[in-house]
Structure 1
Amino acid sequence: MGRRAEVVLTAEDRETLERWARRPKSSQALALRCRIVLAAADGENTIDIADRLGCGRGTVSKWRGRFAEHGLDGLHDDPRPGKPRTITDDDVERVIVKTLEETPANATHWSTRSMAAATGMSQSAVSRIWRAFGLKPHLVDEFKLSPDPQFIDKVRDVVGLYLNPPDAAVVLCVDEKTQVQALDRTAPVLPLIPGTPERRTHDYVRNGTTNLYAALDVASGNVIADLTPRHRSEEFRRFLNLIDRTVPDDLDVHIVLDNQSTHKTPSIQRWLIRHPRFHLHFTPTYSSWLNLVERWFAELTNKWLRRGTHRSVRELTASIRTWITSWNDDPKPFVWHKTADEI
């Protein structure tokens, strides 16, 4: 038995050890070492500390000695030797460069198996390198650039309405969801049961279509909607009349909509002249994402239409009206965050 290591604590060391000993995120091993050092600093001998903390005497001697020699740093484990790296930095660089700059001879993109065969490395090694550098050759994202020469001006116009709407006015996002199909499955849908999801046939029967016109109030989330059998400028003009009857007369109406031809016919132009409180704001071409009503259409599709079954157009229109009524009972506006400069 060697001479017992003396443990002397500063006030700062004691505060740190006590915090580590009771901190929930500390490992149990580190908390035990802190308790050993605190007990040793209080004058307890090795045998008493071991008996009270339920550990071996050698453990107590080791950690009081480590603390006496190295301080707080001595309570942490030394780096443990392991198997040396078999994949060098050059191997990693070779995989990354090959992934980014080359393609396999028999495919449009690399897989972990084809890259492993090309580099002589294991598939798991290639997978780890790709994960570390965020490389996903099997995925592809799509995008569409707007060729609209007035893209910047239109973005500033529309986003300005969202972020800073005019006073004494209502801002409506208007669009049509055309050719909404009344679909029914070729066999009855089997309901959800424990352990088995809802089941339906992959094929379906078409029972006709309808067209949904919708105007989303940006401020309140309320929706003005109409369903029509056809999709022409005449139906759009009737929908404008519906908006005119719905919105109070003392408010201007700013409408965000796309560049569809039915929105720009002579009959629509004449209607706008007769209704000077209406102002149209067109989104750039190929930029439907700027129109917030598209987000509302996504809600309708995901929550109601995609898994719905309808045996006739009449049943479909009644179903859509029911959902819209439910939405308007508790409308939730979609909040726009991006500024025009960020876009």
Structure 2
Amino acid sequence: MANAGVKGRPIAPLVLSSQERAYLERQVRRHRVARSLSERCRAILRCAVGLPSKSVAAELGIHEHTVGKWRRRFLKDRCDGLLDEARPGRPRTIDDDQVAEVIERTLRTTPPDATHWSIRSMAADTGFSHTTIRRMWTAFGLQPHRSQTFKLSSDPLFVDKVRDIVGLYLSPPNRAVVLSVDEKSQIQALDREQPVLPMMPGVPERRTHSYVRHGTTTLFAALDVASGFVIGKCYKRHRALEFLKFLKEIDAQIPEGLAVHIVMDNYATHKTPKIKAWLARRPHYHVHFTPTSASWINQIERWFAELTRKQIRRGVHTSVRQLEADIRTFIELHNNNPKPFKWTKSADQILASVKRFCHKAQQTLCGEL
């Protein structure tokens, strides 16, 4: 009973100066600091409140001995004691000049038998191991096997058109409907020469690479930007005559009293005299043409991508009629629960991004010259 009041070995109080507290709090708030250092600083701050190591460990989800270790290190060396000590290891065998040479060769040259370097071809050319080349490329963010495409619009009214269309997306006018309109032409009804083997556990779906064509169809579609509702119709051809029929289809489904803003590209069938005359007789129709080579700004292209991914790419159709039936079914199911695409970037953000890309491309070209 004499030992009933013993609470364990007393610990030295941990008192922080204002500069130390500010440093620790700053490390905890920083996003780019190592997680281990942030955790140590948080533990010291909690210990400074007067909490025992066991309580701090339970609060932070770490071991009690870990809290005690960094507490002792801090009491001995203060803030410097929280930093990792240098660890012994194998000395470097590759100096900075050799690394720079590999990076320069990756960026400025190509192998004689290929358009780009691979890890193993660079390793064979330089004499380093492929793991060493991998580490170098990873450190500098180099991926020679990857390639991306781009196309800049040469439209002289690019800025005005972007501001106009993005303004419609982000702030549509009152008592108006904004429709994104385009056609997806030459959709092929493809059948496989042999039956598709269904997916099984551990085995993906399998199909022959060869196919049989059964004709094509063209889908004209209009996406209501606000609701996500789609008006779509298939035609055998994609002339101005079919486009005029589709405009009449749109007109029949739009409630009276609403202005109609149509966003579409500069395809020739959209600008024939008959189309212009039909639109001129309906002053509540307003056409907004996208910049040339800027299909990304037309939201119906995003919906076409979903149609391709979900229905067309892996579909098997023995006739155009079957293909068109599947497309109509896809539209009906989509319209049962339509969801609009969320446009997030303003016109200023888009134009600033294009400006940065052009500036970077110009610097690259000047460097090559």
Taking structure 2 as the reference length, what is the TM-score of the superposition? 0.78
Q: SS of 1:300's equivalent?
A: helix
After superposition, the Cα gap between the structure-2 partners of 1:162 and 1:108, relative to the gap in structure 1 and judged at 3 Å, is same
Secondary structure of 1:310's aligned partner: coil
Amino acid at match of 1:17: S
**What secondary structure does 1:342 align onto?**
helix
User: How much has 1:339 moved relative to structure 2?
Assistant: 1.4
In 2, are the aligned partners of 1:33 and 1:75 still within 8 Å (CA)?
A: no
1:268 Cα offset (Å):
0.4
* Stretches of structure 1 lacking an aligned partner (at least 5 in a row): 39-63
Match of 2:359 in 1: none
Secondary structure in 1 matching 2:348:
coil
Deviates more, 1:225-234 or 1:322-331: 225-234
Is 2:14–2:75's contact at 8 Å kept on the other side of the alignment?
no
The DSSP-based 3-state class of the residue aligned with 1:9 is coil
Higher CA-based Rg: 1
How far apart, in 2, do the equivalents of 1:189 and 1:249 lie?
Answer: 48
1:21 is matched with which residue: 57, 68, 73?
Answer: 57
Amino acid at match of 2:345: K
The reply on whether 1:158 has 2:191 as its aligned counterpart is: no
Match among 336, 340, 345 for residue 338 of structure 1? 345
Residue number in structure 1 paired with 2:21: none
1:257-312 Cα shifts (integer Å, max 9, x gaps):
01110000010011011111111111011111110000000111101111111111
Counting only pairs closer than 5 Å after superposition, residues 296-335 of structure 1 correspond to structure 2 as 296-335=303-342
Cα deviation for residue 117 of structure 1 reads 3.0
Unpaired stretches in structure 2, ≥5 consecutive residues: 1-8, 16-46, 351-369
- In 2, the alpha carbon distance for the partners of 1:183 and 1:108 equals 34
Q: Is the 8 A contact 1:113 1:123 kept in 2?
A: yes
Give the residue type in structure 1 aligned to 2:247: L
Give me the whole-angstrom Cα distance separating, in 2, the residues matched to 1:105 and 1:313. 48
Q: Following superposition of structure 1 onto structure 2, how do residues 93-112 of structure 1 map, counting pairs within 5 Å? A: 93-112=100-119
Would the aligned equivalents of 2:187 and 2:218 in 1 still touch at CA under 8 Å? yes
The match for 2:86 among 62, 79, 86 is 79
> What is the SS of the residue equivalent to 1:128?
helix
RMSD of equivalent CA atoms: 2.4
AA at the equivalent of 1:243: I
Aligned twin of 2:262: 255
> Is 1:88 matched up with 2:134?
no
- Give 2:12's aligned residue: 8
Residue 226 (structure 1) aligns with: 233
Q: 1:282 to 1:24 in 2, by over 3 A?
A: same
Q: 2:149 aligns with which of 138, 142, 154?
A: 142
- Whichever residue aligns with residue 251 of structure 2, its letter is D
What are the Cα deviations for residues 51-103 of structure 1, in whole angstroms up to 9, with x where unaligned? xxxxxxxxxxxxx7x78755787688743311112222222222212222222
CA–CA distance in structure 2, aligned partners of residues 226 and 68 of structure 1: 77
- Distance in 1 separating the partners of 2:215 and 2:207: 20
Task: Describe the shift of the 1:118–1:220 C-alpha distance in structure 2 as closer, same or farther (beyond 3 A).
Answer: same
Partner of 2:224: 217
C-alpha separation between the residues in 2 aligned to 1:232 and 1:338? 34
Task: Work out the CA distance in 2 between the residues paired with 1:206 and 1:161.
Answer: 40
**Equivalent residue for 1:196?**
203
Paired residue secondary structure (1:249): coil
Contact 2:266 2:292 in 1 (8 A): yes
Distance, in Å, in 1 between the alignment partners of 2:264 and 2:75 is 75
Deviation at 1:254, TM superposition (A): 0.3
Secondary structure, in 3 states, of the residue corresponding to 1:212? Answer: strand
- The 1-side partners of 2:69 and 2:108 are apart by 57
Give the alignment partner of residue 282 of structure 2, picking from 253, 260, 275: 275
Question: CA contact under 8 A between 1:21 and 1:35: conserved in structure 2?
Answer: no
Q: Which moved more, 1:262-271 or 1:86-95?
A: 86-95
**Shift in alpha-carbon separation, 1:199–1:117, aligned structure 2, 3 A:** closer
Count of paired positions = 310
Superposition TM-score, scaled by structure 1 size: 0.83
Q: Distance in 1 between matches of 2:200 and 2:233?
A: 37
Say if 2:190 is the partner of 1:183: yes
